[in-house]
Amino acid sequence: MKKDFLAVSDYTPSELQEMIDLAVSLKKEHFAGGNKPIFKGKVLAMIFQKPSLRTRMSFDMAMRHLGGDALYLSPAEIGLGQRESIADVARVISGYVDAIMARVFDHAHVIELARWSSIPVINGLSDYNHPCQAMADALTIIEKFKTLKGLNISFIGDGNNVAVSLLHICAKLGANFTLASPEGYDMLPAAIEDGRKFAAASGSKLNFIRDPHEAVKHAHVIYTDTWTSMGQEAETEKRIKVFPPYQVNQKLVSEADKDVIVMHCLPAHRGQELTDEVADGPHSVIFPQAHNRLHAQKAVLVKLLAA
């Protein structure tokens, strides 16, 4: 296994499947009486440039469930790359704890942390990707459909960091991926190029289109995310005018497979990208998906720390 967890694209399909299988067994173990305290004496440092509910709680509780501890470091405490160089921060923290989780604005920051750290670094989110979310997404889909292979997964909206990691895990594990995004909000070409390479190896079909109605035909999964991500607040007014045709509402869901599940990484802006009727409806798995962050991240931590 690699030292760090920075992108699902860094891992082979068998390594990703192994981590998902481990997440399944750790989740079962947790609900059958608790996880074994295999991280006794181990500490995870959690660096946050962006605020968080799910990332902070899921990593903190993952460490506690496994017998370890987590240390929260707020944006003001470090000032990553401002108050002190990233290289110095990485080398200092490496002497105190056993692993680092970083939730950053700039993907280059998490890459730099990993470069200079002598302990594992986990990407808790960057402007480029969100690999921890993708692991929880894959776990959630597999719990419903038993596999990703051959499923049709449609992401509706901005080709953002969440979409990048979802594309890559789908392409690695054989799911067909469709992105329906408005003009000007496409996924980065380099991310698509990587996805095409992985899809060629797994047999996945990839589709990048404009029409959300076409995108959901035969979809087993409809996935959406906020129209304006953290750090893009200046674009809010513009985006609110562009994205309404991409709202996941009851009409759109009714055009998909009858057993479709609706996913959202949260936080949701209800009434924008997702209606209440869908978020709280029978096809929604947004809360089990959020809870699966805990179990998927346990598997990542075990692979990196228990090796």
Computed on alpha carbons and rounded to an integer, the radius of gyration of the chain in Å comes to 19
130 is a catalytic site residue: yes
As a whole number, mean pLDDT of residues 218-233 equals: 90
Contacts 24+ apart (CB under 8 A), 83-90: 86/112, 86/113, 86/116, 87/112, 87/115, 87/116, 89/47, 89/113, 90/114, 90/115, 90/116, 90/117, 90/121
Share of the chain above pLDDT 70, in %: 99
The total number of structural domains that make up the chain: 2
- Residue 307: the pLDDT is 62
Whether 32 and 58 map to the same domain: the answer is yes
302 and 26 Cβ atoms separated by less than 8 Å: yes
Helix (H, G, I), strand (E, B) or coil at 198: helix
265 is a catalytic site residue: yes
Confidence class of residue 28 from pLDDT cuts 50, 70 and 90? very high
Neighbours of 267 (CB within 10 A): 13
Mean pLDDT of the chain: 96
The CATH number of the domain holding residue 278 is: 3.40.50.1370
As a whole number, mean pLDDT of residues 132-152 equals: 98
Whether 273 and 202 map to the same domain: the answer is yes
- Residue 51: the pLDDT is 85
Whether the predicted pLDDT of 230 surpasses 80:
no
- Residue 46: the pLDDT is 98
Q: For 265-283, what is each residue's pLDDT tens digit? A: 999 999 999 999 999 999 9
170 is a catalytic site residue: no
Whether 34 and 121 map to the same domain: the answer is yes
Whether 21 and 161 map to the same domain: the answer is no
Catalytic residue among 65, 168, 293, 295: 293
Whether 84 and 148 map to the same domain: the answer is no
Considering the domain boundaries, does residue 158 fall inside one? yes
Catalytic residue among 54, 109, 130, 239: 130
Residue type, 22: L
132 is a catalytic site residue: no
186 is a catalytic site residue: no
Spatial distance between the Cα atoms of 150 and 4, rounded to a whole number of angstroms:
29
- Residue 233: the pLDDT is 80
Whether 142 and 257 map to the same domain: the answer is yes
132 and 166 Cβ atoms separated by less than 8 Å: no
Considering the domain boundaries, does residue 298 fall inside one? yes
Spatial distance between the Cα atoms of 296 and 133, rounded to a whole number of angstroms:
9
Catalytic residue among 103, 168, 239, 295: 103
- Residue 284: the pLDDT is 98
Which of 127, 61, 55, 115 has the alpha carbon at shortest distance from 91? 115
Count CA within 13 A, CB hemisphere, residue 256. 26
Whether 26 and 89 map to the same domain: the answer is yes
Considering the domain boundaries, does residue 3 fall inside one? no
Whether 80 and 190 map to the same domain: the answer is no
Whether 271 and 181 map to the same domain: the answer is yes
Whether the predicted pLDDT of 96 surpasses 80:
yes
Catalytic residue among 98, 225, 247, 295: 225
Q: For 65-92, what is each residue's pLDDT tens digit? A: 999 999 999 988 887 777 889 999 999 9
Whether 105 and 162 map to the same domain: the answer is no
54 is a catalytic site residue: no
Spatial distance between the Cα atoms of 1 and 174, rounded to a whole number of angstroms:
21
Range of the domain at 141: 133-289
Whether the predicted pLDDT of 201 surpasses 70:
yes
